Amino acid sequence: MGVTWGDYNNDGCIDLFVAGWNLPGQGGFADREFSPDSPSRLYRNNCDGTFSDATKEAGFAPTGLFEWSPVFVDFDNDGDLDLSLVAGNTGDPLPANLSRLPTPVRRLISFAVAILRRIVPARVTAWAYRYEIMIPASGATGLAAAMPVLLYQNQLVETGKATFVNVTTKMGITHLVSARGSAWADVDNDGALDWFITGRRTPKRLYHNNGPVGNYLRVHLVGNGLRDAVGAWVKIQTGDRFQVRHVHVLDGHLAQSQMDPHFGLGKADQVEEVRVRWPGTTSWVLACRGVPANRTATITQDGHCTWHADSSHPPAAAFQAQRPKATTVPLNGITPATGARSEVDYRGTSLPH
Ligand SMILES: [Ca+2]
Ligand SMILES: [Ca+2]
Ligand SMILES: [Ca+2]
């Protein structure tokens, strides 16, 4: 459930990922026949007005999960768009053969599944879902409805081929959640995008991105009429590489990520050119030249381009006061932000602008 748009293969044409569910008839738990087809789909833009199904060639396999809220995001700042998904049960009725059981028995099954999920590592749980060994306890709530989340790393920069590898557990993300939405934003202005996952009767999570990540450029657009510049396109050039992003509202499923386009630059220490196509226009405008890496460039539609280091704009005090100390793990680890408790409740806090 949910879609995301992004140019995952850096050919200048925006592609589409649609999240799906493993339902009866699609290799779901009703017919026990596992389908090689994933309900989720990646559609590659052929740059000629048509799209091709690139799900398999990009390395996506069925997960057995109810997938929600896909988001294209360059979480490692290497210059290619990675992909995140969350999962969780929907409260559908139990499979027919189980729904005939008395209520206490069904509750006992849900309880047993919940216990299993507490003691089985997420990697094993994901494998069990993949091969339908573990049946999602439909109609259950809380932990019994929880599933692993998914973080895929794009291999385009590393190998030249835009294929995706599941790095969820490698990055230290092991929680099971029952979630429908998630969003990415650099909540502490350190240049690495962080991941917030909602919880539907499971705890919400803020994963602080501990890096290491590549250099980056963030672009803040100020339009003349439409101040937020929703619908604008931004294209940057670093060496012989180009990347495009678009300013948009809503990501995934009922979620809103950081609106300012965020570009990973890898080791590049400068962006040669930034071009903008403003909403309602059809041509690219050269907005900035020679922007140093690790800056936020503010571009106005009347032709101004300025930039500043993000460290000169610390997060809002309200958020800073409640920002928990993040644990550190090596190699691109993404860990839950932990304070006195492992579950952080951000209700009532103000996010930085
Ligand atoms: Ca593309
Ligand atoms: Ca990437
Ligand atoms: Ca960050």
The 10s digit of each residue's pLDDT in 59-78 is 998 787 788 999 999 999 99
Q: Tokens in use for 326?
A: 């993040």
Please tell me the predicted confidence (pLDDT) of residue 21. 78
Dihedral in degrees, nearest 10, Cα atoms 251, 252, 258, 260: -50
Distance 57 CA to ligand 1 centre (A): 14
Give the pLDDT band of residue 33 (cuts 50, 70, 90). very low
Tens digits of per-residue pLDDT, 270-299?
999 999 999 999 999 999 999 999 999 999
Task: Compute, in angstroms, the gap from residue 183 CA to the centroid of ligand 3.
Answer: 13
Mean pLDDT, to the nearest integer, of 95-124?
A: 68
Split at pLDDT 50, 70, 90, the class of 118 is: low
Helix (H, G, I), strand (E, B), or coil: what is residue 302? coil
Nearest ligand to the C-alpha atom of residue 188: 3
> Tokens 């571009």 belong to which residue?
299
Give 244 Cα–ligand 1 centroid separation in angstroms: 9
* Amino acid, single-letter form, for residue 115: I
Q: Are 39 and 92 in contact (CB under 8 A)?
A: no
| Contact of 222 with 299, CB cutoff 8 Å | yes
CB atoms within 5 A of ion ligand 3 belong to 186, 188, 190, 192, 194
Q: Which two tokens stand for residue 37?
A: 């087809």
Q: Are 198 and 179 in contact (CB under 8 A)?
A: yes
Q: What is the per-residue DSSP string for 184-249? A: EE-TTSSSS-EEEE--SSS--EEEEE-----EEEEEEEE-SSSTT-TT-EEEEEETTEEEEEE--S
Q: Report the half-sphere exposure of 305 (CA within 13 A, side-chain side).
A: 17
CA trace torsion 309, 315, 316, 320 (10° rounding): -150
Query: Separation of 82 CA from ligand 2 center, angstroms?
Result: 5
CA of 78, nearest ligand number: 2
Average pLDDT, the chain: 79
Ligand nearest to the CA of 46: 1
Phi, then psi, of 117 in degrees rounded to 5: -70, -25
**Ligand nearest to the CA of residue 13, numbered in listed order:** 1
What pLDDT sits at residue 83? 98
How many Å lie between the centroid of ligand 2 and the Cα of residue 221? 23
Mean per-residue pLDDT for 109-132? 66
Ligand in nearest proximity to the CA of 77: 2
| Mean pLDDT computed over 161-168 | 96
What are 62's two structure tokens? 């069925």
CA-CA distance, 146 to 144, in Å (whole number)?
Answer: 6
| Residue 195 Cα to ligand 3 middle (Å) | 9
CA distance 133 to 127: 8
